[in-house]
Every structure is written in C-alpha cells, then in structure tokens.
C-alpha cells in the first residue's frame, strides 16, 4: 500500500502499518492507561475518539502550519459562528499561531518540509510516520500545542515526570528517528516545537536527547510482541474498564466486590 496524505489515517493504512499513536493506544504511556480493547475497536472502525475543545484547538494550530487550514475548517464547521468567526472557546488557537509566527527561532524549526511521510520496518512490523517539519539532513521537528510546558505530572513508583515522557513523545521521537535513518542513512536529532494555550502562550524548542530516545526504543521493543498479538487478533484484548469505550460496551454478568473499587490505586 502506497501511503499518501489522503489515505494515511485510513483504516486500511492503520491495519497494514503500525504508527506511534496506534502503539500508544495498545501499550499506553505514563499519562494514559492502555486499553487493548479500545485500541482494537478503533482499528476495526467500531469506536472513534470524541473531539474535545483542547484537541480541536491543537489541531487548528497544526493545520495552519501544515497548510491544510481550509480543509480543517470544512471538516470542523461546528467551531465557527454563522458569521464564520471562531467561537470563543477556540479563539486561543489564533493567539497561539500569532505568538509562534513572531518568533524567528521557532519558525526556523517549523520551516522544513511539511507532513513528510516515510515508512520502514522495526521489530517485525511495518511502521508509518508523518513529520510536521522535516529539515532534511538536519532535524525532525514535531509541533505540540498543550496546556503547559513546565507542569510536572506525578507517576506512582516513579515520581514527577515532564510532559515529554508522561505522554510518550520520547517514543514518537525514537520511532521517527529510526524510520528516517532507515530511509536516509542519517540519524537526525528530534525536537519538539512546543506552544501552550495559556493566556500568554509559552513557546519552547525542546530536544529529546539521545539517551531518552534509546530508552524509549527499548520500551517499544519490550511491548511490541503483545501489541502485535492483539492487533492481529491472535490474543484477546484486555479491557481497562475505565475508558468511554469500555463503559459503552460493558455487559454486566456479576456483582463486584467493594475491594475492586480501589484495586488499581
């Protein structure tokens, strides 16, 4: 299957190729509990993640810099008033864009080729990647729009984590770096171009250093066997019983104990 911008996110492409987002659906991150059942339902077209305001604000900014804002507006008309203006909940997206545009250093990292697709093979399966800004022979850059850059997240048995490892962006960097290396022979540094949705948007260019990328690729290797078994429906998926998908599909067959209510704490 030849991947294009039109079919990259299709069900057919997702079944043929592994992607970072699909891997994280199955295996989870420190910040998102895995749900193999939900991941498989999404893969088979039986479940779709709901669009939230924070997600749409980030997608608006992404689409502006990748040059697909007109298409985004057509597909998400609900965020606009009848006069064609952004509704109040989404106006922060324009503020983030303007803040980014007036910083020359940030824009230098965003000046690469947009939405470059590459494929490769890793750990016994085919992978696909789509880069926000690919500076050939120089760097791989991914744009992230978030609530805060500096807030730390508490993880049981680990302690406080930065947003990069909490949400698995180190995994993204590791896979992108390896697939680019397979296609070009060059191991490029991976950067996150981060901007926040705060009243005064914060902006940073963050390099995920090689030691974290190496740790992340080892983590992928340790989880991929189980992920592929479930994706290929060779093993039954585990349910987290906490996500919307599990709640929607829950069929009661017996009562639970009061101890079950705190089992995961």
Provide the CATH number for the domain around residue 226: 3.90.320.10
pLDDT 10s digits, 234-251: 999 999 999 999 999 999
pLDDT at 197: 94
Whether the per-residue pLDDT at 166 is higher than 60: the answer is: yes
Binned at pLDDT 50, 70 and 90, residue 173 comes out as: very high
Label each residue of 30-75 as H, E or C.
Answer: CCCCCCHHHHHHHHCCCCCCCCCHHHHHHHHHHHHHHCCHHHHHHH
Cβ atoms within 10 A of the Cβ of 86, count?
A: 16
- Give the Cα separation of 192 and 63 in Å (integer): 16
Binned at pLDDT 50, 70 and 90, residue 85 comes out as: confident
Query: What's the mean pLDDT in 102-127?
Result: 97
Task: Using the CB atoms, write b or e for 202-240: b if 16+ within 10 Å.
Answer: ebebbebeeebbeebbebbeebbeebbebbeeeeebeeb
Residue 13 sits at φ, ψ, to 5 deg, of -65, -40
Contact status, residue 122 vs residue 178, Cβ threshold 8 Å:
yes
Instruction: Examine residue 3 and state whether it is found in any structural domain, yes or no.
Output: no
Instruction: Examine residue 212 and state whether it is found in any structural domain, yes or no.
Output: yes
Instruction: Examine residue 2 and state whether it is found in any structural domain, yes or no.
Output: no
pTM: 0.93
Domain range spanning residue 184?
11-251
User: Which residues, listed in sequence order, are joined to residue 120 by a DSSP beta bridge?
Assistant: 127
Instruction: Examine residue 257 and state whether it is found in any structural domain, yes or no.
Output: no
Please count the structural domains in the chain.
Answer: 1
pLDDT 10s digits, 193-219: 999 999 999 999 999 999 999 999 999
Whether the per-residue pLDDT at 261 is higher than 90: the answer is: no
* Alpha-carbon distances, residue 139 vs 50, 108, 111, 122 (angstroms): 33, 11, 11, 21
Top-confidence range, 49-53, 90-94, 176-180, 261-265: 176-180
Instruction: Examine residue 1 and state whether it is found in any structural domain, yes or no.
Output: no
Instruction: Examine residue 136 and state whether it is found in any structural domain, yes or no.
Output: yes
Crossing angle between the packed helical segments 20-27 and 169-184, to the nearest 10 degrees: 140
Contacts of 46 by beta carbon, 8 Å cutoff, 6+ apart: none
Instruction: Examine residue 67 and state whether it is found in any structural domain, yes or no.
Output: yes
Instruction: Examine residue 264 and state whether it is found in any structural domain, yes or no.
Output: no
């Amino acid at each position: 299957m030849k991947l294009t911008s039109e079919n990259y996110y299709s069900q057919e492409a997702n079944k043929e190729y592994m992607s970072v987002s699909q891997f994280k659906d199955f295996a989870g991150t420190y910040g998102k509990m895995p749900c193999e059942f939900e991941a498989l339902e999404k893969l088979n077209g039986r479940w779709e993640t709901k669009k939230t305001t924070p997600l749409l604000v980030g997608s608006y900014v992404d689409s502006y810099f990748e040059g697909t804002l007109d298409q985004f507006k057509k597909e998400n008309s609900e965020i606009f008033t009848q006069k064609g203006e952004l509704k109040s909940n989404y106006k922060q997206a324009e503020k983030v864009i303007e803040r980014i545009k007036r910083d020359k250093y940030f824009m230098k990292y965003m000046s690469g080729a947009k939405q470059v697709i590459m494929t490769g093979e890793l750990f016994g399966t085919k992978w696909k990647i789509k880069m926000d800004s690919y500076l050939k022979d120089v760097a791989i850059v991914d744009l992230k729009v978030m609530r805060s850059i500096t807030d730390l997240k508490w993880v049981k048995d680990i302690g406080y984590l930065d947003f990069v490892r909490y949400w698995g962006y180190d995994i993204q960097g590791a896979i992108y770096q390896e697939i680019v290396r397979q296609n070009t022979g060059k191991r490029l540094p991976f950067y996150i171009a981060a901007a926040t949705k705060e009243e005064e948007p914060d902006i940073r260019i963050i390099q995920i250093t090689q030691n974290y990328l190496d740790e992340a690729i080892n983590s992928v290797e340790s989880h991929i066997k189980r992920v592929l078994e479930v994706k290929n429906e060779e093993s039954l998926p585990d349910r987290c019983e906490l996500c919307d998908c599990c709640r929607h599909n829950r069929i009661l067959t017996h009562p639970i104990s009061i101890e079950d209510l705190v089992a995961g704490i």
